Amino acid sequence: MSLCPIITEDIYSSTLKLIGSKLLSSDDQKLVILRSIHGYVQILGDSIDGLLLSSNHLEKLVMSLANLLEFDISMVSVVEEISTHTHTTQWDLSGNSNAWPQKRFLYFKKEEILMTICNICHCLGQSKYKQLLIDFLIEKLHSFELFLLQFIFLIGNIVEGFTKSSDITTAQTDLIEEILEELLSPALWDLSPEDKEIGTVKIFQSESNTPNRVMYSNSKLCQICLILESIAKCAKVLGIEFASF
C-alpha cells in the first residue's frame, strides 16, 4: 500500500489546522504545523502530484499559507531602514533573500515561521508540476485582491526552488518568462487610487487603525518591493539567460 495518499491527506489536515491557528494559536504552535507540512512535502518528493493535481488540496495548501502571510502594512519602514545605514554599509543578503526590506506580518513574529514557509515554497518549486502551480497562483493573483501581496511573495519563493541556470530546461525558461510578464504587467504597477474623484481607496487589512490613505501608500510600497524581489529571484534562477529578457 502506498503511503503517498495517506501523507497527502495528512497535509490536507495540517492545512486546515493552520487556517484555524491563525488567530488562536501561539507562534510555536503555528511553527509545529508548518514544520509538519514541510516534512510531509519533503517526504512526498516527486510523488507530490497527488497533492498538486487535486484542486481541493492545492487550494487549501495555498490559501492556508496566504492567510497566515498577511502583511502588516500599518507601517512600512523601508526608507527608515535605508536612512539608518551609512553609504559605506556592505549589504550581504546572500544568506536570506527575504531578509530585507524587513517584512512584518499580522499573525506571527517568529522568523522561523517565515523561513519554514519559504522552505515549503522551495520544495513546491522543485515539483515537475510547477507550471500547474504557477498558473494556479497567477489566477489567484488576478481574482483575489485580498491576498495580492501574499501571492506575489509565494510566486517569488516558489521560483527560488527552481533548478538553477546550469541545468535549466526550456520549459522552465518559458515558465519564468510567463512569470516575468505577469510581474511586469501594468496592472500590478498601477499606483493610482481606485476612486480618483474622492481620493478614497479600498485597502484590505484585518486589524489596523491606520488611515486608508496611509494604508494604501504602504500597501503599494510593499507590493512594488515584493515584485522587484520576485523579479530578482527569477534573474537568480536564469543566471546569464536573464539578459535576453
134-151 average pLDDT score: 93
Contacts of 167 (CB under 8 A, 6+ apart): none
- Give residue-wise pLDDT tens across range 176-227: 999 999 999 998 998 776 554 434 444 445 455 555 777 888 888 889 999 9
Q: What is the DSSP letter of 166?
A: G
Residue pair 18/34 in contact by the 8 Å Cβ criterion? yes
Residue pair 38/123 in contact by the 8 Å Cβ criterion? yes
Averaged confidence pLDDT in the chain: 83
What is the model's pTM?
A: 0.84
Query: How far is residue 168's CA from residue 81's CA, in Å, rounded to a whole number?
Result: 36
- Give residue-wise pLDDT tens across range 143-171: 988 899 999 999 999 999 997 656 778 88
> By C-alpha distance, which of 31, 35, 9, 237 is closest to 134?
237
Q: Which amino acid is at 60?
A: K
Residue % of the chain over a pLDDT of 70: 80
User: pLDDT tier at 230 (50, 70, 90 boundaries)?
Assistant: very high
Q: Is the backbone of residue 45 left (phi > 0), alpha (psi -120 to 50) or beta?
A: left
